Amino acid sequence: MTSQSENYNEQLNLAENLINQHEEDQSNRDKFSRLTKEEIIEAAESLIQTADVKSAYETLLLLKEIYEKHSADEKPALIQEWIAAGNDPKDFVPPNDELKSKLHDIFNRFHKLREDEKKRAEEEKLANLKEKQAILEKIRALVDTEETENTLSELRDLMRSWKEVRTIPKEFHDSLASEYRILIEKYYDNLSIFNELKDLDREKNLEIKIELIKKVEALKEESSMRKAIVILNKYHEDWKNAGPVRREISEEIWTRFKSASDLIIDRVKQQRAEIDAKRQVNLEKKMLLVEKSETAITAMPENTSEWQKLGKELDEYFEEWKKIGPVPAQNNDEIWSRFQGVRNTYYTARKSFFKDLNKNKVENLKIKQGLCEKAEALKDSEEFMKTSDKLKELQEQWKKVGPVPDEHNQTIWNRFRAAFDHFFERRNAFFDERKKQESGAIQSREAIITLLQELSVEGAEISFEKLKNIQNDWNNAGFVSGKRFHSLNNKYQKIIDPLFQKLREENKQDRVKNVKNYVDGMKDSAEGKSKLKFEERKLRDLIKKIEEDISTIDNNKSFFQLSKNADSVLKQFDEKIRKLKDQKDRLISELEIYKQSQS
């Protein structure tokens, strides 16, 4: 059983280490993430006074990580302030961080403390080793001495002293513990006079161990695995120091204690496996970001905008990186070195690019002066739409030109911007005035539509002259823009087109009637037949001429189908063809009357 207990202690220590490494880290991280940079420095300085230097140093590393994250989060705002002050973003230099220097000094002091603590701990372990060796010699002397009424009391005092002495060098731990147990067992085995006291003592030891079993079984209700393993470790220490029980139940009582402990240790191992699995997933995510970053810098940009685009892409990858949790400890340094290496390569190449770019600043100034002259030549133009497009083209050209000497940067920009402001202020004033006029034009057009609706009523008097006058009023009603004009114009056309069509039909009927009366009167005259034939030939010639005109227009249409204003031109051709066809239909109707008069 002694051998089993010693092996079990190794498992228990391993479980405790796993808990110490992983469970408390997230709690501290959440707490420290809410601190300001100044509060982080205060917290770091307070750790100097902490007795547990190892734990304090781990906390200091966490504070340093959070401090660097704060600095990274502040960097975009500092860059914006740099730009707002009139500086070029590529020349950005982070301000001196005195707090970071303090944090560095604290780290240096901690390194000294850790060395002192390590030395002190080793000295303390050696002192404890000597003390425990001395206790063992005293126990050995008691074992070899004949039992008296006082030897059992002396042994118990020595056992209490043994418990009070804690850490010793690891390489002596198992051998001393084994020797201690052997001597204690030997002492109890050699007791002859005090058998009754020995049995009573072992019964008390049994009660202690049964109570420890109950306490370990109760630990399964503990939600915090770290707390559970710390308490379990204490119970195992108490078990080791409780003394022997009756030999016939020793194995059984140990098996019960071990089984209860196994439940706790298995939960720790399960939690550890879950943490390891999650960290492996995080490693895969970060590896993907590394590969994306390495691919992104395979071919370095050749102009300023592409450098900005690449920098933004790498910053996005960095933001994703910060949102991913920790990776397995053995991979952490390697994966971070690769990722940071990509960013260092980018910034080194970017710095070299802009250094070379500065050589062309004088030439860039000449180019931008030329763009200023072009903008100033356009600033008083009355062609607001076309000029707006031209100025936008100048803006795009401006963006493609590299930086100019710093002393001219703001001046040349102000000159370029002033030409734009002058033009767009004039353009806005023009359109504001036209918008005011448009309101009256809308009212005029709505009034014309109302008048046409009244003329559309059955029995209303209409004429070509009246409709022509209404058309003139519509065309001179003033400017209306966009969807509003199309809406009004559609209403207008839907009403006036039927009115014109109605007049044309009525006019056509009247003309046919007049032609018929003319023919009827002509055919009974002396030379009526010859005159009718002459009129018929004239009509046929006119119809043929119209057909030729229609054919010519159709041919002309094909030359304009791919022109810039094709829709407008083709619409005009279609309108001419429609009028010619209407004229042809009317002449055909008249021709039919002449033909019927001679049958």
| Tens-digit pLDDT profile for residues 159-179 | 888 888 888 888 888 888 888
Confidence of residue 418 (pLDDT cuts 50, 70, 90): very high
Query: How far does Cα 355 stand from its chain's mean position?
Result: 31
What's the pLDDT score for residue 103? 79
Higher pLDDT, 387 or 442: 387
* Residue that wins the pLDDT comparison between 454 and 13: 454
Higher-confidence residue: 422 or 151? 422
Instruction: State pTM to two decimals.
Output: 0.35
Mean pLDDT score of the chain: 80
**Cβ neighbourhood burial of 59 (10 Å; 0-12, 13-18, 19+):** buried
513-523 residue pLDDT tens: 666 666 665 66
Which two three-digit tokens encode residue 370?
A: 């030329």
d(CA 25, CA 39): 19
What is the residue extent of each domain of the chain? Answer: 1-23+195-272, 278-353, 405-510, 523-599
Whole-number Å distance between alpha carbons of 80 and 74: 10
- Contact of 83 with 76, CB cutoff 8 Å: no
**Which has more pLDDT, 564 or 479?**
479
Q: Are 22 and 229 in contact (CB under 8 A)?
A: no
* Residue 427 scores a pLDDT above 80: yes
Using one digit for the tens of pLDDT, what is the confidence trace for 92-125? Answer: 777 888 888 887 888 888 788 778 778 887 888 8
Residue found under tokens 């592409």: 306
pLDDT value of position 22: 47
Q: Report the range of poorest mean pLDDT among 5-14, 78-87, 497-506.
A: 5-14
| Rounded-to-integer distance, Cα 204 and Cα 263, Å | 26
* Across 230-234, 425-429, 465-469, 513-517, least confident range: 513-517
Say if residues 391 and 379 touch (Cβ distance below 8 Å).
Answer: no
What is the pLDDT averaged over residues 357-386? 86
**37-59 pLDDT per residue, tens:** 788 888 878 877 776 777 777 88
Q: Nearest CA to 198 among 157, 251, 246?
A: 246
Name the packing angle between helices 151-164 and 98-144 (round to 10°).
Answer: 160
Give pLDDT, residue 510. Answer: 63
pLDDT over 50 (residue 237): yes
* Residues 348 and 367 sit within 8 Å (Cβ to Cβ): no
Structure confidence at residue 17 (pLDDT)? 54
Q: Which residue has the tokens 């439940």?
A: 263
